[in-house]
Structure 1
Amino acid sequence: MSETEPKAQKILVVEDSHVQAKIICRHLEAMTTFRTVSADSLQEAARVLDTMRDEIFAAVVDLNLPDAPYGEAVDLVQGHGLAVIVLTATFKDEVRDALLARNVADYVLKESIVVLDDVESKIERLFKNQFIKALVVDDSRTARGTVRNLLEIQNYQVLEAENGRRALEVLDAHPDIKLIVTDYEMPEMDGYELTSEVRRRYKKQQLAIVGISGAGESAMTAKFLKHGANDFLHKPFAAEEFSWRVNQTVELVEIVCELTECHEQQAAGN
């Protein structure tokens, strides 16, 4: 393992059903490079975290355990600084609101036939995101903080800028930024101008841009896309929508980049 490669390569699975825990662990180990460690109670999860925390990257946690019926296991794992994917048997509004208030990375329904694939893809995305720098551009400190929090929940490295001109300075200092989330209405340089200027420097497969705005202009989406953005979100947006759209955008950029590199290598070989 190189010095830059993270040591935390295990996933903690907290599930009181031994059958379900075994199925999840086997699937993750078969489909990813991660090893797993399981716990069937809050007490056991605490013991594992006390002895193996440095080896664990993220956790998959059942929301309701016999000795933790109100999501205490989620709080325990988050208290150790780990990203959490929650398994829940119900999808009621109050459950969803409680999970979002806890800032979990995601939640999946246990009854879903694609639950294992969802967990697998989410863990892989969280792992990749820790190496990605994202820049949040908004003249409102509160708005920047909100978006920053949503990105950090998804494991991105986050930088901030208060307007487009400052964003370009940050980009000059950090040319390895791979994602920009920018508001439209800002002093000195707005979101359209910033997007156009970034596109003069970076292609879409090199750096993703997601525009956001609370302005009521009907053509806002089209204008952002025409200026070179990869996607656009209207404020206010749900946390799940934001994380899904941003992660999907980054994933598409990665796929295009890989295909482009593959094509270039094949062309060079010919």
Structure 2
Amino acid sequence: MSEQSSTRPSRPVRVGVQIQPQHADYAQIRRAVAAAEEAGVDVVMNWDHFFPLYGEPDGKHFECWTMLGAWAEATERVEIGALVSCNSYRNPDLLADMARTVDHMSDGRLILGIGAGWFERDYAEYGYEFGTAGRRIGDLGEALPRVEARWARLNPAPVRDIPVMVGGSGEKKTLPLVARHADIWHGFGDADELRRKAGVLDGYCRDIGRDPGEIERSAGSQEGPDAVGEALLEAGVTLLTIGTDGPDFDLGLVRDWLAFRDDHNA
């Protein structure tokens, strides 16, 4: 199994923004989404938690999927989704139906981002069993085929083949799930780590007879493109997502990445 991904990606570069649904009123979140779409981002995402991840731990916070339904109606062009939805919080068949519904509300612009979950406070306060990381990843592996099977049975069917983004970088359990089920892999780490893990993912794809090029590679950055842009491209990443926090939702770094995207794609 190869441990290095050596091909520079041929896909166009895309830029996403994660509007973190914390420390803000919903009106501020809605304005941030509108500003991101107007600025020209490709994807607008939130996250799937019940409490802030940093800052005041009991600060303002809103639920993921209710918000995605509102964004479907409030936006016109951008793709929308969660980075990422926690598999533990919803029955997989229900999640598939929710995703199909938001897909229709948005005219086919939903990405189903999904991961195994990790934030113990969410589990404890909302009554979910936290268990072990291995068990949560195992549950994700059982859920993904159920999501796919439910989509095949729903009436009406999804508007499009809903892209599945799997978030996580575990080499023994998560990356095999990415190889089998994902259209987008959201990885974690610096460019060198992402390049190495991409090589592992490519090997899993070859093991099951899948073209690794079918999977878009995604990562977040809180640095500017002058610092890390070329290195991330060399690592195979073409979807760059910048997080921004309430109440101000500063898009300055996002605009720098948009300029990088436009120069690269010209």
The two structures have a TM-score, normalised by structure 1, of: 0.31
> Could you say which structure has the higher strand fraction?
1
The two structures have a TM-score, normalised by structure 2, of: 0.32
